[in-house]
Amino acid sequence: MTADRFGDVTVNVPWSSQEDLLLDVAAPTLDESVERGETESWFYLRETKEAKSYLRLKFRTQSPSVEARLRARISEAVGEAGRENLFEYRPYNKEHDWLGGAGALGLAESFWTETTPLALESLRATRGNRALRMALALDMLACSGVFLASRLPESVSRFGYRAGYLSYLATFEGYLLLIRDPEAARARHARRYDLNRDALRPRIRRLVEIMQDPDGDLDGLPEATLRYMNSLRSHLPPLQQGFDEGRFYLYATPRKDDFNKLTPAPDGLYRRPDLPWLADAPEAPVAGIHRAIADNPYYQGMIREDRRFQASRVAQAYGHWHLFRLGFLLSDRYTLCYLVARAFEEEFGLDAAELIRSVKPEAEVS
């Protein structure tokens, strides 16, 4: 038990086993301890480091029996064959330092604690139904994108919901730079979108209609999305304040992992990084959105330096962590980003590159 009264248990089990262990063993045990008054609050994360997956359970309690009971029940559920290094402790993965730096970790933990009941209810409601879970996640991403766009500098926020998908499209196009056959991946995602177009487009339109006033009454949203948005809206102001006061930082830890070497070149273009496993792959074409960003130095500067952009990017990272907690992998996130972006562009007749090229310094915005 740490001095700040937090129990912090990491359970080293395969990703495929984590959901059942969480829903059937860990969550009931910790919820029971809350009902007994032993535990004040708790949250969970699903993490992967060095190709090893683990479930993190962190709880605020003054009773040592809570952790002992939790470990015993997990050990019993896993069985003798899976007990080797079962509770080998793993400190926070370096990604947590990217959520605003060490000073912002408490706020992230507050968000995870507040949204843990929502995440658990979402898991139970969609257990065994991947399509339903994907739909739930898509709603969350679409609405959070619209909300966060409203918090960007006026030169971007003036576009309203139309700017709500730009980061998702940029994320997907960045992913294509990190794989060997980007065109095949694009075609595969396009086929998936085509199969779901008739459901996705009206769904996105309905969400955008409800989100017309991102600060107003959002009661028309699906319940899970509404609860997520309420948590996001309440946590963004202190997150923004942390950046405004210089206490929080974007990418506080140097980005050393291969998948994080995707940075713009001096000319502003995002290109395929120099990685051994991509050395013999053909050069990927430059995406229109990346070309538009490169052609707009003002937009580049905002992404890197504007505190509103920085806070928005960390808030968006909260959403990505929520996807992990729902059992989605990186590949699922890219699929969701693509589906949201395509639905926005088709339903509302948008062109991301054209929009970004039209972004001008706030003094020039009429």
Q: Which pLDDT value is given to residue 272?
A: 62
Residues 6+ apart with CB under 8 A from 156: 149, 163, 302, 359
| Secondary structure letter of residue 253 according to DSSP | S
Q: Which pLDDT value is given to residue 269?
A: 64
Looking from the CA of 106 toward its CB, the CA atoms found within 13 Å total: 6
Q: Mean pLDDT over all residues of the chain?
A: 90
Confirm if 125 and 274 have CB atoms less than 8 A apart.
Answer: no
- pTM for the whole structure: 0.91
The CATH code that applies to domain 6-82 is: 3.30.70
Q: Where in the chain is the domain with CATH 3.30.70?
A: 6-82
pLDDT tens digits, the chain, 366 residues: what are they?
344 478 999 999 999 999 999 999 999 999 999 999 999 999 999 998 878 899 999 999 989 999 999 999 999 999 987 778 999 999 987 767 779 988 999 999 999 999 999 999 999 999 999 999 999 999 999 999 999 999 999 999 999 999 999 999 999 998 998 888 889 999 999 999 999 999 999 999 999 999 999 999 999 999 999 999 999 999 999 999 999 999 998 874 444 554 454 556 666 666 666 667 666 777 777 889 999 999 999 998 898 899 999 999 999 999 999 999 999 999 999 999 999 999 999 999 999 999 999 999 865 555
In whole angstroms, give the CA distance from residue 354 to residue 213.
24
Q: Which pLDDT value is given to residue 84?
A: 86
């040592």: which residue's tokens?
A: 64
Q: Indicate the residue type of 336.
A: L
Got the DSSP string for 208-229? HHHTTSTTS--TTS-HHHHHHH
In whole angstroms, give the CA distance from residue 172 to residue 262.
12
Q: What percent of the chain shows pLDDT beyond 70?
A: 89
In whole angstroms, give the CA distance from residue 324 to residue 347.
28
User: Beta strand pairing status for 6-11 and 99-100?
Assistant: unpaired
Q: Which pLDDT value is given to residue 363?
A: 53
